[in-house]
Structure 1
Amino acid sequence: MDDLIAARSQMAMSLGFHIIFACVGMVMPFFMAIAHFIYLRTRNAIYLGLTKAWSKGVAILFATGAVSGTMLSFELGLLWPTFMEHAGPIFGMPFSLEGTAFFIEAIALGFFLYGWGRLRPWFHWFTGLVVGLSGLASGILVVAANAWMNSPAGFDYVDGQYLNVDPIAAMFNDAWFSQALHMTLAAFVATGFAVAGIHALMILKRKNVTFHTTAFRISALCACIAALLQPISGDISAKDVAERQPAKLAAMEAHFETEARAPFIIGGIPDEQEGRVKHALKIPGVLSFLAHGDVNQPVTGLNDIPRENWPPVAITHYAFQVMVGLGMLMALLSLIYLFALARRRAWLDRRWLLRLFVIATPMGYIAVEAGWIVTEVGRQPWIIYGIMRTADAVTPMPGIVYSFFLFTAVFVSLAAIVVFLLYRQMAMVGRLYDVTDPAYRGNSKSS
């Protein structure tokens, strides 16, 4: 493994772990705030217990997300010093603002966790809401920095020099809105289906059914609404990528020949040597419509792009297929659930519906990981699109492969600790918040 592959593998592994923690940090505080709000309005002890249970999970994942995010910031300087030397002064603003949002989130979380019985009820609820808003802001700001790498702006590149830097223009680049919208909805979909699936499993096991049913309905409703909005953001993203990064779009669809009425490809095995896709289902005109809003508009193929500027086609194509396929399955499940809420409420207690949510538990996070593969691998060979190649940004320091193994061990250990803590927390939920138990403690020290 050479240093470039080791450095890219280390960043891929680190981002693969951190993006899960980031999604949870963006979404779970809102679930917590919804449950707390309903409790304050109804004084139903189930919602109080649910708020406290979810707040403990938020605390665990906030701590692990802080660790993984800090490690990522060190990795940027360790692995990509040339990139940080030139890019840091340009797109540093969203990172600095993200740090501010992180500190606000930490302070608000401290107020919320230790505010039971000490703060006024509605101010206490507001501190929980601030945790969610600041976590959401952190995620959007980091995505804005990544969007700048896909759509560099806010500077003039003249004779290898980065001149006339405008940090505001860099942060609000052409890609930030579409990426931020897509990532935010993806976080709600992934976390919502994961939480709903876990609670659905507890219902199927007949463990504390009332508590888990309440939790399931909050998380499932949020997940389903986001899943039905996600295709809209996907369409916005596709049109944006078609305009700015035609090579990425071509790799996503394994589209080799420039043509009007370009087909949308489902499945298939790309053959880069022959310039075609084998065993694929092609729907004529759909790719042209998705990319340009016109079925007769040509879509640029890979064969009209210099070979040295091609992304890895197979990886990008397979990841895109996984993302879209799982997104459609979750959207279909969302339609079934919302139809049940509106017209067939008897379905809500059926085991087949709960089993579908259990099956969907990992789908959102798999789709998120696949989407980031599309974003990052599809940008290659550029680290700053059209400006700086990834190979030119890697550190000259030898032995990066050892750093890769070390960081992998740290992240795997961190993930194991998180799984253990969350498993223990789920076991404690059944004991502490069992509303059928006369000793139920959910009402203790209420706000």
Structure 2
Amino acid sequence: MDNFIAARSQMALSLGFHIIFSCIGMVMPFFMAVAHFMWLRTGNENYKNVTKAWSKGVAIFFATGAVSGTVLSFELGLLWPEFMKNAGPIFGMPFSLEGTAFFIEAIALGFFLYGWTRFNRWFHWFTGVVVGVSGIISGILVVAANSWMNSPAGFDYINGKYTNIDPIKAMFNTGWFSQSLHMTIAAFAATGFAVAGIHALMIIRKQNVGFHTVAFRITAIFAVVAAILQPLSGDISAKFVAKNQPAKLAAMEAHFKTEHYSPLIIGGIPDVENHKVNYAIELPGMLSLMVNDKFDSEVVGLDKIPLKDQPPVAVTHYAFQLMVALGMAMLGISLLYLIALFKWKQWLSQTWFLKIFVLATPLGFLAVEAGWTVTEVGRQPWIIQGVMRTADAVTPMPGIVYSFYLFTAVYFSLAIAVTFLLSRQIKMVPEIYDHQPLTLKAS
């Protein structure tokens, strides 16, 4: 493994771990705030117990997210010094603001964790809301910085020099809205299904059923709404990619030939050498319709992209297909849940129905990882789209492969520690008076 591959692998590993921690850190405070609000309104101790249990989970993921995020910030300078030298003054603002949002989030979380008997109860609830809002803002700011790499703005690149820098324009580049929207909804869907699946499993095992039924209801609603909205945000993102990154779109769809009435490819194995996709299902004209709203419109294929500027087709295509397939699976489960909620309420407490959510526990995070693979691998060979190549940004320092091994060990150790802490936390769920399942009613 050479230094370039080692640097990319280390960054991929770090992002792959951090994105899970950050998604949960963005979303869990909202679950916690809803449960807290319901306790304040109803006085039901189930909601209070759920709030306290989730607040401990929020603290765990806040700490691990802070560690993994700090490591990432150091890695940017360690692995990609040429990139940071030129890009830092341009897109540094969202990172600085993200630090401010993180600071506010840390203070609000401290207030919430230690304010149960010290604050007015509604102010205490409000501090939990601030934790969630700060986390969402923090995530959006980081995604805005990443979107700048996909759609660079706020500067002029003349004779190898970056001039006329405008940090505001860089932060609010053409891709920030679509990418932030898609990522935020994905975080709610992934975390919602993961947490709902865990509580569904506890209900099946008949452990603290009242507690886990309340938790399942809250998280399932968030997951269902997010999964239904996700295809809409995906359509917005696809249109942006088609306009600004045609090479990425062509790799996502394994679209080798520029043509009108471009077919949508479902599945298949890309044959890059022969410029075709084997064993795929083709829907004539659907790709043209999806990206340009016209069946007869032209979609740029890889034949119009110089070979040196083409991303890895197979990895990008498989990751995209996996993301879409998992998104459709979550959408199907969501529609089933709505049918149960409004028509067949008896399903909600039946084992077969709960098992579906148990099986869906990892789907959202697998989709998130696949989506970020599409975002990052699909941009290659550019670290700044159309401006700087990834190979030109990597550090000349030798021995990066050893750094990769070290960070791999650190992240896997961190994952084991988090798994242990969460497992212990789930087993420490407080016993409550009512162990009977609650009736899930439409509200």
Q: TM (normalized to structure 1)? A: 0.97
Three-state SS of the structure 1 residue aligned to 2:260 is coil
1:279 corresponds to which residue?
Answer: 279
1:215 corresponds to which residue?
Answer: 215
2:314 corresponds to which residue?
Answer: 314
Query: In 2, are the aligned partners of 1:211 and 1:435 still within 8 Å (CA)?
Result: no
C-alpha separation in 2, matches of 1:207 and 1:231:
35
C-alpha separation in 1, matches of 2:317 and 2:390:
20
Query: In 2, are the aligned partners of 1:208 and 1:435 still within 8 Å (CA)?
Result: no
C-alpha separation in 2, matches of 1:262 and 1:347:
42
- Deviation larger for 316-325 or 341-350: 341-350
The CA deviation string for residues 352-401 of structure 1, in whole angstroms up to 9 with x for no partner, is: 11010000000000000000000000000000000000000000000100
1:254 corresponds to which residue?
Answer: 254
In structure 2, stretches of 5+ residues that fail to align are: 436-443
Work out whether 1:420 is the aligned partner of 2:420: yes
The CA deviation string for residues 314-352 of structure 1, in whole angstroms up to 9 with x for no partner, is: 000000000000000000000000111111111111111
C-alpha separation in 2, matches of 1:24 and 1:341:
25
1:178 corresponds to which residue?
Answer: 178
1:443 corresponds to which residue?
Answer: none
C-alpha separation in 2, matches of 1:435 and 1:238:
50
C-alpha separation in 1, matches of 2:168 and 2:96:
13
TM-fit CA distance, 1:433? 3.8
Runs of 4 or more above 6 Å deviation: none
1:245 corresponds to which residue?
Answer: 245
TM-fit CA distance, 1:436? 3.9
Query: In 2, are the aligned partners of 1:79 and 1:394 still within 8 Å (CA)?
Result: yes
C-alpha separation in 1, matches of 2:296 and 2:358:
42
1:92 corresponds to which residue?
Answer: 92
C-alpha separation in 1, matches of 2:334 and 2:82:
45
C-alpha separation in 2, matches of 1:3 and 1:293:
44
1:445 corresponds to which residue?
Answer: none
Three-state SS of the structure 2 residue aligned to 1:119 is coil
Matches within 5 A, 1:435-446: 435-436=433-434
C-alpha separation in 1, matches of 2:85 and 2:413:
31
Query: In 2, are the aligned partners of 1:49 and 1:433 still within 8 Å (CA)?
Result: no
Three-state SS of the structure 1 residue aligned to 2:141 is helix
1:123 corresponds to which residue?
Answer: 123
C-alpha separation in 2, matches of 1:4 and 1:292:
37
C-alpha separation in 1, matches of 2:126 and 2:424:
28
Q: For the structure 1 residues 436 and 343, does the alpha-carbon distance in structure 2 shift closer, same or farther, using more than 3 Å as the test? A: closer
C-alpha separation in 1, matches of 2:351 and 2:420:
28
**Aligned residues, how many?**
435
The CA deviation string for residues 116-144 of structure 1, in whole angstroms up to 9 with x for no partner, is: 11100000000000000000001000000
C-alpha separation in 1, matches of 2:41 and 2:434:
22
Matches within 5 A, 1:351-390: 351-390=351-390
Query: In 2, are the aligned partners of 1:311 and 1:378 still within 8 Å (CA)?
Result: yes
2:432 corresponds to which residue?
Answer: 434
Letter in 2 for 1:204: I
Query: In 2, are the aligned partners of 1:46 and 1:435 still within 8 Å (CA)?
Result: no
Three-state SS of the structure 2 residue aligned to 1:311 is coil
Matches within 5 A, 1:393-408: 393-408=393-408
Work out whether 1:109 is the aligned partner of 2:109: yes
1:32 corresponds to which residue?
Answer: 32
TM-fit CA distance, 1:304? 1.1
Work out whether 1:166 is the aligned partner of 2:166: yes
Letter in 2 for 1:435: Y
Work out whether 1:225 is the aligned partner of 2:225: yes
Query: In 2, are the aligned partners of 1:26 and 1:135 still within 8 Å (CA)?
Result: yes
TM-fit CA distance, 1:435? 2.9
Work out whether 1:54 is the aligned partner of 2:54: yes
Query: In 2, are the aligned partners of 1:263 and 1:285 still within 8 Å (CA)?
Result: yes
C-alpha separation in 2, matches of 1:330 and 1:105:
30
Query: In 2, are the aligned partners of 1:193 and 1:223 still within 8 Å (CA)?
Result: yes
C-alpha separation in 2, matches of 1:110 and 1:233:
34
Q: TM (normalized to structure 2)? A: 0.98
C-alpha separation in 2, matches of 1:435 and 1:403:
52
TM-fit CA distance, 1:302? 0.2
2:135 corresponds to which residue?
Answer: 135
C-alpha separation in 2, matches of 1:26 and 1:293:
34
C-alpha separation in 2, matches of 1:294 and 1:184:
29
C-alpha separation in 1, matches of 2:21 and 2:83:
25
The CA deviation string for residues 409-433 of structure 1, in whole angstroms up to 9 with x for no partner, is: 100000100000000000001xx24
TM-fit CA distance, 1:261? 1.1
C-alpha separation in 1, matches of 2:155 and 2:284:
40
Three-state SS of the structure 2 residue aligned to 1:157 is strand
C-alpha separation in 2, matches of 1:235 and 1:85:
35
C-alpha separation in 2, matches of 1:204 and 1:283:
41
Work out whether 1:331 is the aligned partner of 2:331: yes
2:440 corresponds to which residue?
Answer: none
C-alpha separation in 2, matches of 1:260 and 1:193:
39
Letter in 2 for 1:434: I
Query: In 2, are the aligned partners of 1:257 and 1:302 still within 8 Å (CA)?
Result: yes
1:301 corresponds to which residue?
Answer: 301
1:65 corresponds to which residue?
Answer: 65
C-alpha separation in 1, matches of 2:118 and 2:407:
41
In structure 1, stretches of 5+ residues that fail to align are: 438-447
2:439 corresponds to which residue?
Answer: none
C-alpha separation in 1, matches of 2:434 and 2:121:
26
Letter in 1 for 2:160: G
